[in-house]
Structure 1
């Protein structure tokens, strides 16, 4: 018993300072990390960094500093950091192999937040989905489709594919085509179509709308109608112009041709 008691005393004497130092480093380190992360977030707010990117960078900084602090505390307790680093590396490799898809999405989310091909509120088309960006997360991006459906797109495929941002330039051109009969007066038809566009307050005057003959089709003369609009007014102008053109052409007596079925009767 005396021998065991003596050994315990020696262990306490040897390790007490190390344990005290490790606890002190841990407490001071956690406090310093909290202050540093808060200061970093305030700097990003002043620099008007995107909110999603602020949260991502803040979390990344927080966990990186805590990991370094943990290694420092362990080393003060006498644990060999080289073997500890080897264990972390092996564990990291195993986790990386198991989460290849998730890591690709994480990397894609990081690229999206840094290079900003789109932001929350933009109307985009990507990966077969068209809609307004609702939220950009670390692994996925949430998009509201025109039918008010929520599409969740992985950031890995999103960052590596083609992205069409309809909002980036601030204005959109509405591409419409209307066909009229060959008997119709071309100049009069162009005037009617242009009047429909200029009468719509949501159609921009700069760039000016255009109306041109685009094709002499089999049964119709087709006109390319191209009004410019603000992004938010796209569908209102698209549907409104389609309806108003039909009404205006009917009023002017201009025929919009449609396929006719011809019955052939056999004799005998």
Structure 2
């Protein structure tokens, strides 16, 4: 009986500690999940406010990602402190673990550093059409570790920031104007003067082609199967592809109507009869 009584007394002594521990665990979980929810909402709110203030979309997305990461770390420490974990020692442990993880995750840290450089150097911004890391598309957003591109066929391409910064970046949207470089070939028996006149008329009739700088139309090559002209009109960057397609279509129609032949690769074979 005395042993049973002792067990009951020990259980009564441990019960408040267990109850307090469960309560602290519950409060810690509540702090963690509510804090995580609040951090997400605050980050999105800050991003929307920056966008309304005409801050570049890429900068707003990058800043909100950093803000969320910092708030999430603070919420995690608060939750651990509520449970009873010594956060001071925990931070020291995290520092040591962070060094080891940092060595193991050099690629991710490189992506983060490259993301910071993209924001600072601004080789491109949200909405620019670029060719980077072997992919072409419109920049949608820049985050801590990745840059998001949308292709012309509406695919989303996610590129590590380090890959973006370590390669060549072609920004098609940086300048307001672009030059359309075209090669137009005519047959050897066609009238060169007439062909050049037709192309000049098409250029002058198109208001989207800029008068300054002046369009270049010049004979460039006497090729194997054609006489080649280079045509180099200047247009606003937004009109590049439309003007290019329209010019080629109009040239084809005009050449057909006015008898200017457009050649295709061909080979002349000469047969000689050899008398025995």
Provide closer, same or farther for how the CA distance between residues 213 and 173 of structure 1 changes in structure 2, counting only shifts above 3 A. same
CA contact (8 A) 2:61 2:141 kept: no
Q: CA deviation at 1:227?
A: 1.5
1:15 maps to which residue?
A: none
SS in 1 for 2:209: coil
**Residue from 35, 57, 68 that aligns with 2:63:** 57
1:107 aligns with 2:113: yes
Instruction: Output the aligned Cα RMSD.
Output: 4.2
**Residue from 87, 90, 94 that aligns with 2:93:** 87
2:149 maps to which residue?
A: 142
Structure 1 Cα separation of the partners of residues 169 and 261 of structure 2: 40
1:234 aligns with 2:224: no
2:202 maps to which residue?
A: 196
**Residue from 159, 182, 186 that aligns with 1:154:** 159
| Matched pairs, number | 256
| Unmatched 5+ stretches in structure 2 | 1-5, 15-23
| Unmatched 5+ stretches in structure 1 | 9-18
TM-score for both structures, normalised by structure 1: 0.71
Structure 2 Cα separation of the partners of residues 78 and 191 of structure 1: 86
TM-score for both structures, normalised by structure 2: 0.69
Provide closer, same or farther for how the CA distance between residues 66 and 164 of structure 1 changes in structure 2, counting only shifts above 3 A. closer
Provide closer, same or farther for how the CA distance between residues 39 and 143 of structure 1 changes in structure 2, counting only shifts above 3 A. closer
1:251 aligns with 2:257: yes
CA contact (8 A) 2:127 2:139 kept: yes
The 10-residue stretch of structure 1 (122-131 or 183-192) with the greater mean CA deviation from structure 2: 183-192
The 10-residue stretch of structure 1 (80-89 or 112-121) with the greater mean CA deviation from structure 2: 80-89
CA contact (8 A) 1:134 1:144 kept: no
SS in 2 for 1:125: strand
